[in-house]
């Protein structure tokens, strides 16, 4: 009888031990899965933030480039006298470019943070160019000065390079 009690006791403790080991293994697996899930979520967030910052930067570059190309085109149109037959067509084109430039200036400005000094420099160049264009298009227009537009463009591209380098530094810091 003693042997049966010992066997039963041993069996119970063995089952209890196996159960505890299984429970411990389950907890360990759950912790590992939770850690892995958090790591994967973190990697996904980094990937999304990285992609979004790079998309923002590329979009900003394209908009700034198009903005200055259109500004230079408008100044070129203003500088070339139009024949009486071309006057209406030229004025329509000037009006279209002027509207597009105002919209583009607003859109670019809204993409930037005025609290960031480098981005503020870019805003300043966009605003200065917009002001020059508005002066050229006023009822008593200023003489178009392509040098001013070119200087603003060069300063804006320089500022954009700094903004891009900072965005890239932030992307690399995330990875």
pLDDT in tens, 139-163: 777 777 888 889 999 999 999 999 9
Question: What tens digit of pLDDT does each residue of 100-136 get?
Answer: 999 999 999 999 999 999 999 999 999 999 999 988 8
Q: What average pLDDT is seen over the chain?
A: 87
- What does pTM read for this prediction? 0.73
CA distance 40 to 160: 33
Give the domains, in start order, of the chain with CATH numbers.
Answer: 46-174 (1.20.120)
Q: Is residue 69's pLDDT more than 90?
A: yes
pLDDT at 25: 83
Question: What tens digit of pLDDT does each residue of 15-48 get?
Answer: 777 777 877 888 887 877 778 877 787 777 778 7
pLDDT at 131: 92
CA distance 1 to 115: 86
CA distance 137 to 95: 9
CA distance 74 to 132: 11
């Amino acid at each position: 009888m003693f042997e049966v009690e010992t066997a039963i006791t041993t069996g119970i403790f063995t089952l209890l031990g196996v159960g505890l080991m299984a429970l411990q293994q389950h907890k360990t697996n759950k912790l590992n899965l939770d850690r892995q899930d958090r790591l994967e979520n973190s990697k996904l967030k980094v990937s999304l933030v990285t992609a979004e910052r790079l998309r923002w930067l590329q979009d900003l570059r394209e908009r700034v480039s198009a903005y200055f190309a259109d500004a230079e085109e408008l100044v070129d149109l203003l500088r070339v006298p139009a024949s009486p037959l071309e006057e209406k067509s030229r004025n329509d084109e000037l009006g279209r470019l002027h509207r597009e430039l105002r919209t583009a200036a607003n859109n670019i400005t809204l993409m930037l943070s005025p609290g960031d000094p480098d981005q503020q420099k870019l805003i300043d160049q966009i605003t200065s160019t917009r002001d020059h264009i508005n002066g050229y298009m006023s009822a008593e227009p200023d003489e178009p000065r392509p040098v001013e537009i070119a200087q603003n463009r060069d300063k804006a591209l320089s500022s954009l390079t700094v903004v891009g380098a900072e965005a890239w530094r932030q992307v690399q810091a995330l990875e």
